Amino acid sequence: MFRILFHTPEIPGNTGAAIRLAAVAGAELHLVEPLGFSLEDSKLKRAGLDYHDLTVLHVHASLDDAWRALQPRRVFAYTSDGDVSYTDITYEPTDVLMFGRESDGLPDEVKHDPRVTARVRVPMLPSRRSLNLANTASIVLYEAWRQQDFAGAQR
């Protein structure tokens, strides 16, 4: 099961969309506090529809707490200044796919954490700042799952 990690997300609708994404693709969703919203936020609930009960969701008080819980073997940090394209990774089902907050991405100390296997980018046109957080997580998770031949999916 792939594990999506949102580091200090700010926008409830993105996290709600990620709840739905994790449910339909069989991934876990991990959130690192502080969150920019309450988990009871109506925008989060609306974006997640009725998938909240179908999602494995964990909230961690800090990134260190997340590392202790996840015990990751491989962590991919998605950032606009990544060294490798997301399509160049050979994903494994226990990988942690880590994304930063909407306003400014992952802090430098997180991108360069010794647990990070690689800093990864999703290609965009030049002079574009960023891609939406939930959209980026969807692109990456579906590529990772595709490489696993969509294991467990209804065909």
Helix, strand, coil percentages in the chain from 3-state DSSP, rounded to 5: 35, 20, 45
pTM: 0.94
38 marked as part of a ligand binding site:
no
Task: Return the CATH superfamily for domain 3-147.
Answer: SPOUT methyltransferase, trefoil knot domain (3.40.1280.10)
DSSP state for residue 113 in the 8-state scheme: -
- Count CB neighbours of 27 within 10 A: 22
Confidence of residue 80 (pLDDT cuts 50, 70, 90): very high
Q: To 10 degrees, what angle do helices 12-25 and 133-147 make?
A: 10
- 130 in a labelled binding site: yes
Residue 84 known to bind ligand: no
Q: What is the mean pLDDT of residues 47-60?
A: 80
Closest CA to 34 of 13, 65, 4: 65
pLDDT grade for 29, boundaries at 50, 70 and 90: very high
Domain edges within the chain: 3-147
For 6-17, the pLDDT digits (tens) are 999 999 999 999
Angle (CA) 23 115 108, round 5°: 95
